[in-house]
Structure 1
Amino acid sequence: MVTLVQIFQIIGYKNSGKTTLTCQFIKELSKRNLRVASLKHHGHGGLPLGIQNTDSEKHRQAGSIISGVIGEHILQLSTDNWQLTQLIKIYEIMHIDVLILEGFKHEDFPKIVLISDERDLRLLHQLTNVQAVLSTLPQNLNEVDAVIFQKNNTTELIQWYCNLLGY
C-alpha cells in the first residue's frame, strides 16, 4: 500500500502508557503545525463503548454493509469486517500528515514499544519494524535492534522520532 501519510505505531500491553504517549505525540506534532490523526485498536474484547443498542448498530445487524451515525462533531461507523487498509484510506481523505496507530501490533508499520516489566520483553520477539523501545527496566536491552529510551524520558523519545520523521 502506497501512502503519503507518515504512519507509526505505539505498542504495549494494557496499562503500559500507550494512550499517554500517544497524546504526548499528538500535542507535540500538532505544535509543529502538522495534521495529526490517531486510530486505536480496541483489543480487549467486546464492542467499544457507545455502539451497543444504537439505531446504527441495528442497521448493521439488519444487513447494512456499513452503518454510520454523526452528531456533535462525532462520526461513528460500524461494519462486520474493517480492514486497517480501509481505515487508513478513510483517514487519508482528511489530508493528514501523521497517523498514529495505538495497537495493531501485528501490522508492519514503524513501532515504538512500551516495556513495563520483564514479561513484556516477549513483545520484542513477536513484532516487526521496532524503531524504539520505551522501558522502565533498569537493565540494558542489548539484544534489541532499536533505540532504547527510559520511561521517564518521553521528551527525548518524541524529539528523536520527530527528527526521524523529518519534522
Structure 2
Amino acid sequence: MDAVSILQVVGYKNSRKTTLIENWVKELVSIEKEVSVIKHHGHANGLDFPSDKTDSMKFFHSGATCSIAVDDQSIQMHQLKNNWTLKQLVQLAAISNPEIIIIEGYKQEDYDKVVIIKELKDWETLQHLTNIVCVIVHGELKIDNYPMIHIENTVLLNEWLIDWIGGDKLETI
C-alpha cells in the first residue's frame, strides 16, 4: 500500500455520523475512489454475529481466535481479541488497499477530524480534541476558528471532502 487519506468523524450519539459517512462513501465511490470504513461500536451489547449454524461461526465457537469465510469476491472475518488499537484496525482496513479510510469514533486519536456538533454543549468538550479540520453543525449553531458546514448542506459537505482528499493529507501506513 502506498499512501492513504485517513479522516475521523466524531460527535455524540445521534449526531448523524453514520449518515454522513454513508453519504461520503457513496460520493467517493462515484468518483472511483476506494474507501474503507472503521466504526467504533460503542453499544454494550456487542456486535451481532451470523447464525451459529454457519461453518465459520462453528469454527469460531469451537475456539478459533479468527474465522474467515471466503468466496470469489468477499470475506467475512470474525476475530476474538481484546483491546484492539486503532492502529491495528487501520492496518486491517488497509488490506483492501483503499485510497481513503474513514473512521467513525475514536475521539482521542490523532488523525484529521470532522466534528459534528448537535448542541453547543457538545462543542464545550469536543473543541479540545486534536486535529480538528472541519466542524459540522446542526441548527443555527455558529463555531469560530474552524471551517463550519451545516449538516443539511450535502453539496458543501461533499465539496469539502473532495477538497480535503485533494490536498496533502496523504499518510503512509
Task: Identify whether the pair has TM-score above 0.5, normalized to the shorter chain.
Answer: yes
Give TM-score scaled by structure 1 length.
0.83
Matched, 1:78 2:50: no
Q: Paired residue for 1:99?
A: 101
Q: Whole-Å Cα distance in 1 between the matches of residues 149 and 158 of structure 2?
A: 10
Residue 32 (structure 1) shift? 1.1
Q: What letter corresponds to residue 58 of structure 2 in structure 1?
A: D
Q: After TM superposition, where is structure 1 displaced by more than 4 Å over at least 4 residues in a row?
A: 51-54
Q: Which has the higher contact order (CA 8 A, sep 6+)?
A: 2
Structure 1 residues without counterparts, runs of 5 or longer: none
Residue 45 (structure 1) shift? 2.0
Q: What letter corresponds to residue 86 of structure 1 in structure 2?
A: Q
Query: SS where residue 163 of structure 1 aligns?
Result: helix
Q: Whole-Å Cα distance in 1 between the matches of residues 2 and 137 of structure 2?
A: 30
Structure 2 residues without counterparts, runs of 5 or longer: 168-173
Worse-superposed segment, 17-26 or 153-162: 153-162
Q: Whole-Å Cα distance in 1 between the matches of residues 125 and 60 of structure 2?
A: 34
The number of aligned residues is: 160
Asked if 1 retains the 8 angstrom alpha-carbon contact of 2:120 and 2:141, the reply is no
Q: Whole-Å Cα distance in 2 between the matches of residues 74 and 155 of structure 1?
A: 34
Measured at CA, do residues 75 and 123 of structure 1 come closer, stay the same or move farther in structure 2, by a change above 3 Å? farther
Query: SS where residue 127 of structure 2 aligns?
Result: helix
Q: Whole-Å Cα distance in 2 between the matches of residues 71 and 24 of structure 1?
A: 28
Give TM-score scaled by structure 2 length.
0.80
Q: Paired residue for 2:135?
A: 133
Query: SS where residue 149 of structure 1 aligns?
Result: strand
Q: Whole-Å Cα distance in 1 between the matches of residues 17 and 86 of structure 2?
A: 19
Q: Paired residue for 1:45?
A: 44
Q: Whole-Å Cα distance in 1 between the matches of residues 19 and 154 of structure 2?
A: 10
Q: Whole-Å Cα distance in 2 between the matches of residues 139 and 11 of structure 1?
A: 17
Measured at CA, do residues 88 and 3 of structure 1 come closer, stay the same or move farther in structure 2, by a change above 3 Å? farther
Asked if 2 retains the 8 angstrom alpha-carbon contact of 1:118 and 1:137, the reply is no
RMSD: 2.4
Q: What letter corresponds to residue 69 of structure 2 in structure 1?
A: I
Residue 166 (structure 1) shift? 0.5
Q: Paired residue for 1:121?
A: 123
Matched, 1:58 2:61: yes
